Structure 1
Amino acid sequence: MMAAATATAAAAAAAAAASASSRKPLATSTSPMPARFSVVLCLRLPHHHPLRRLFHGPSDGPPPQLPSPSQASELWIAKALAAATLLRPHHLPAFRPLSPSPLAAAAALRLAPCASSALSIFTALHYSPLFIPPSAHSYQHVIVLLCKSARQADALQLFDQMTTHCGYFPDARFLSFLVNSCTCANLLDASAALLSKASQFGCRVEAHAYNKLMSLLIGYGRMHDAVALFERWVHDGVYSPDVWSFNVVIKGVCRVGDVQKALKLVERMNEFGCSPDTVTHNILVDGLCRVNQVDKGRQVLRRLQTDGVFMPNVVTFTSVISGYCKSGKMEDAMAVYNDMVESGMVPNTVTYNVLINGYGKVGDIGSAVAVYQQMMLRRCHPDVVTFSSLIDGYCRCGKLDDALRIWNEMAQHHIQPNVYTFSIVIHSLCKQNRSEEAVGLLNELNMRSDIAPQAFIYNPVIDVLCKCGKVDEANLIQKGMEEKGCLPDKYTYTSLIIGYCMKNRISEAITFLHKMVETGCSPDNITINCFISCLLKAGMPNEVDHVMFIASGGALSSQKMPSHVR
């Protein structure tokens, strides 16, 4: 009975609103029927139901300005449509004799409390049973709500329906919004497809949207896709690239070592009224240095200094210095550094780190320390990379005590070592058979919650303990390694297997070999040959076939193992 009354009230409300729109309006009166209909529906809603806002305005403040009767009728029809769709959708056919307008349908969509409700109202009003022709504003309103609710897939489906079936084309602003929403949701292919259709829609999107998409594609390693899209968009005249556009693409091709392609792109900038800026030259110089064409990078640097149009900055100089340091040409690197200082450029921490690391790699720790001292004199604050490079340089020269002194000096600068600093010192301690100190540093590392342990840090400690015959202690290190969520690798298992073999504990060595195979870590020839050699030295030639069987992925069975092995 109540449902029938609701449907009757809804139809009556709509009919009253429709008839009110055809009569001459009264300035101070409105139709009483919509108000009565709102009371009926509100009585059926819970107190905190979001749909109550369809019928109640704000309780405080000045009274709202009364709309015209035609607007009021459309508003009340919209309220009735929204309420009936969300509460009693099977009563919607009662509205068909009234032929609701697209304006009322659009207003009903705006009354929806969320994206799901808006999509439900859109589907109910524009399809069966009412078939109200949808407007472009209705489509765009629902698409915006869906995008803001992270439902880009539904938004794209509705957008395709809007453009393909209804022939509504977006403007540049709306298309930019949709592209940006898909890009932020990592739907990069969808964004590329939308931008490629901009010319079909007759709108011109700003270059910012294209640049952001290409930058993300390159960031995800899809450089070739980014370059292909760039060339297609330029060829089709979809957009006019700016300096940022070229910088993004040039950086991408330089990252994969295609410097010749980068140089061709620089030459094409004039076609679009663009000129290379400092960022362009920095990218180009860095790209040349990455492919070991440091001399050409230095030529570009000198040309910039000579022309004076775009002065090189600290990034330009540091790129050339880094290129020479990686090639071991420290004299050339220092010459560029001196040129940098003479030109009035102030080196930064990265510049000094590159020089210190370069001198450390070639074994010239004295020069590395001299650069560090100059860095401190210029009041350039060191970081963890600075100290890690110094420690590595001392360790390469066999001066482990000096490396430990630098390690302690880090604390005075309130700098904590990172995973690579730990790795350098632990590895050097193990090389000098100072296993107790290495284990102490490893325990200190395990107490750091901000460092994810890696197998290459544990392996030297396990290896040196096994070589010293402390296999049980090495096994404890391996168990602690797994408790920290760090899986052993091939080198971990090989050290343990050989260590147990050297202690003539063959059964435990075979257990580790089986565990190694079970975890998907295939032993290499070095592991198998060392194991076989240990078996032969232990006078157990019959176990060679058994070890080969396990190494090939065979299941370990205690029944197949001879008693003396068990």
Structure 2
Amino acid sequence: MTAVASSSSSSLAPPPPPPHSPMLPRLHGAFRLRLHLPPRHPLIQLLHSSSPGAHPPPPHAAELWIAKALVAAAFLRPHHLPAFRGLALSHLAAAAALRLAPCASSALRLFDALHSPPLSVPPSEHSYRHVVALLCRSGHHGNALKLFDQMTDQSGCFPDEGFLSFVVGSCTTAGLLDAAAALLSKGSQFGCCIEPYAYNRLMNSFIGHGRAHDAVALFERWVQEGLYTPDVWSFNVVIKGVCRVGDVQKALQLVERMDEFGCSPDTVTHNILVDGLCRVKEVNKGCEVLRRLQKDGVCMPNVVTYTSVISGYCKAGRMEDAMAVYNDMVGSGTAPNAVTYNVLINGYGKAGDMGSAVGVYQQMMLRRCPPDVVTFSSLIDGYCRCGQLDGAMRIWKEMARYHIQPNVYTFSIIIHSLCKQNKSEEALDLLRELNMRADIAPQAFIYNPVIDILCKGGKVDEANLILMDMEEKRCRPDKYTYTILIIGYCMKGRIPEAIALFHKMVENGCYPDNITVNSFISCLLKAGMPSEVDHIMLIASGRAKSSHKVSSPLSQGLDISVAV
């Protein structure tokens, strides 16, 4: 079908059929459309296209003409599709029509129309594969999997290794991990020998979604059933999974099994194992693995190996051991990276040794290793822990010289420290600066210290303005936010507002804990409101719904000061 456009008319009429096509006069008479389309309509490009693609084999001119007419009818005049019934449509024409469909949804509708009465063209493997792939690429995995099952169960068309790997990979990317695992498990039924890459990637995704146990179970089942032969990456993935859940003993057993499949642990294997040992506080064993690597000389330790051991010692507060490994690392010719220095700076900061922390920072500068936001945040945190706010503010200003923006945790550290030292104005200034940053999503734990210091200073209205600012920025207050303000209102004798805020807290889906309830009940009892106490306890226990109604003389606007 060819587009015919003129200045006087925007109508389209079917072109003359190609010569020597005896089947086409019947279609020409039964399917005569005048389609009114704008000049740039996508169907115009469709009608001018000359080939549906390389797969399946290119159709003859007559079949291509029919394919274009089919798409046009399905897209614009679906009630004309029965006109194609007498043409004895071929697989090539049907496949070509599907490849001309403008989107995945229209391809699926056309597929159903072609392979259902009255047309009832038996679907080909090419048609199935094209529509399934199109649905996967468009994110319609539910429909894709249904069609895939129809392809294999009803039509007996089995996928090859490449196509099955594609569908599995698409499901894995979309987070449909169980569906991907089920497909891989059917590989042997389809006669497919899938490369280990697909299995490894899926197991890695299971681990990334916090399902390490499922990844290990799949690994064991696949190996037992002989579905695939694991490679080094396979073992590295599953060893990482068991280390994530703290089962280092299982990780060691897996390392021993590698030889069964002709695999040898590489540097990545040892790095995963060292990190896992250090995470479960077996840092000495992690260091033993490091020393064995140094001695064997087969898989030399790298910066990740050394940094994992250093981090383990820092978390244990064993800074001398951490520095010994660092010096060993430098002596072996392995250059530390920013993570190495950040771990040491953070360790010294938490140990209260800011002199050593600054010394590590200076070494970082001498070795021309650029600091990052974690470096400065660790230094600021160390100074704040030592009560040296001036030092923290000096580092805060030094960040600007390196054009490094503080992140949400940097703000949190220094705002919390300012509030501890009762410097509410400086904290508010930093909070305003934070609110101007479009790249930082506000978090309740940043606002809470400022709200707390304002409430303790009797500035409840200012604290409530911050709550309103949080809500305006779609930062959801947590139970600590509400508890601080409720007690703040009670301290000012504004019990009705405290009660209203409690109800608002519950209605917003933020349920109070025992600290909130007990503190609030204590205030209500001191205010002589036992009936409100009963209501609050019922709400806290879930036996009553929240209500803003205040059953006491306070509903008449009375304030009763209480000592908290």
Give 2:398's aligned residue. 409
Q: Tell me the equivalent position of 2:532.
A: 546
- 1:200 equivalent to 2:193? Answer no
Which ranges of structure 1 fall in alignment gaps of 5 or more residues?
1-9, 18-28, 59-69
- Give deviations 1:235-276, integer Å, cap 9, x for gaps: 111112111111111111111111111111111111222111
Q: CA deviation at 1:210?
A: 1.3
Q: Does 1:30 align with 2:20?
A: yes
Partner of 1:317: 306
Contact 1:517 1:550 in 2 (8 A): no
Residues 52 and 363 of structure 1, relative CA distance in 2, 3 Å threshold: closer
For residues 413 and 249 of structure 1, what CA distance do their matches in structure 2 show?
Answer: 40
- The answer to whether 1:45 aligns with 2:38 is no
1:272 — aligned with what? 261
Helix, strand or coil at the partner of 1:387: helix
Q: Structure 1, residues 427-455: CA drift from partner, whole Å, max 9, x if none? A: 11221212222222222222222222222
- Deviation larger for 389-398 or 300-309: 389-398
Give the whole-Å Cα distance in 1 for the aligned partners of 2:259 and 2:106: 52
Q: 1:125 to 1:296 in 2, by over 3 A?
A: same
Aligned CA distance change for structure 1 residues 199 and 474 (closer, same or farther; 3 Å): same
**Deviation per residue, 1:132-155 (Å, 9 max, x gap):** 333322322332233333322222
Task: Decide whether the 8 Å contact of 2:314 with 2:344 is kept in 1.
Answer: yes
Unpaired runs of at least 5, structure 2: 1-13, 51-58, 540-545, 560-564
Letter in 2 for 1:173: G
Quote the Cα distance in structure 2 between the aligned partners of 1:110 and 1:236: 38
Deviates more, 1:149-158 or 1:551-560: 551-560
- Structure 1 position 565 matched with structure 2 position 555: no
In the aligned structure 2, how far is the partner of 1:564 from the partner of 1:46?
Answer: 71
Q: 2:225 aligns with which of 225, 236, 247?
A: 236
SS across alignment from 1:137: helix
Distance 1:550 1:518, change over 3 A: farther
Structure 2: distance between partners of 1:110 and 1:206: 29
- CA distance, structure 1, for counterparts of residue 381 and residue 476 of structure 2: 26
Q: Give the RMSD, CA atoms, in angstroms.
A: 3.1
1-structure distance, mates of 2:299, 2:131: 48
- 2:489 counterpart residue number: 500
User: Secondary structure of the residue that 1:373 maps to in structure 2?
Assistant: helix
Residue by residue over 1:287-308, the C-alpha shift from the partner in whole angstroms, topping out at 9 and shown as x without a partner, is 0100000001001111111111
Partner of 1:555: 547
| 8 A Cα contact 2:274 2:308, kept in partner | yes
Structure 1 length normalisation: TM-score?
Answer: 0.85
| Alpha-carbon distance in 2 for matches of 1:178, 1:84 | 30
* C-alpha separation in 2, matches of 1:531 and 1:94: 77
Percent of residue pairs bearing the same amino acid type: 72
Q: Aligned pair 1:140/2:129, yes or no?
A: yes
Give the structure 2 partner of residue 155 of structure 1. Answer: 144
- CA offsets, 1:382-435, max 9 Å, x none? 111111111111111111111111111111111121111111111112212122
1:121-142 Cα deviation digits (max 9, x unpaired): 4333433224333332232233
Matches within 5 A, 1:98-113: 99-113=88-102
User: 2:386 aligned with 1:394, yes or no?
Assistant: no
The Cα of 1:559 is off from its aligned counterpart by 5.3
Which residue does the alignment assign to 1:174? Answer: 163
Flag the 1:240–1:536 CA change in 2: closer, same or farther, 3 A: closer
Shift of 1:89: 5.9
Mapped to 1, the partners of 2:366 and 2:48 lie a distance apart of 72
Does structure 2 conserve the Cα–Cα contact (< 8 Å) formed by 1:45 and 1:52?
no
Q: Secondary structure at the match of 1:200?
A: coil
Q: Does residue 456 in structure 1 map to residue 445 in structure 2? A: yes
Conservation of the 8 A alpha-carbon contact between 1:522 and 1:551: no
In the comparison of the two structures, how many residue pairs are matched?
A: 529
How do 1:379-528 residues align onto structure 2 when only pairs under 5 Å count?
Answer: 379-528=368-517
Are residues 1:331 and 2:320 paired? yes
Task: Give 1:468 shift.
Answer: 2.2
TM-score, length of structure 2 as denominator length: 0.85
Stretch deviating more after TM superposition (46-55 or 289-298): 46-55
Q: Which deviates further from its counterpart, 71-80 or 486-495?
A: 71-80
Distance 1:412 1:358 in 2: 25
Please identify which structure carries the higher helix content: 1
Bigger mean CA deviation after superposition, 396-405 or 308-317: 396-405
2:478, 2:207 → 1: CA distance? 32
Instruction: State the one-letter code of the partner of 2:549.
Output: S
Residue 507 of structure 1 and its aligned partner are, at CA, apart by 3.4
Any conservation in 1 of the 2:529–2:552 contact (CA below 8 Å)?
no
**Residues 309 and 131 of structure 1: CA distance in aligned 2, closer, same or farther (over 3 Å):** same
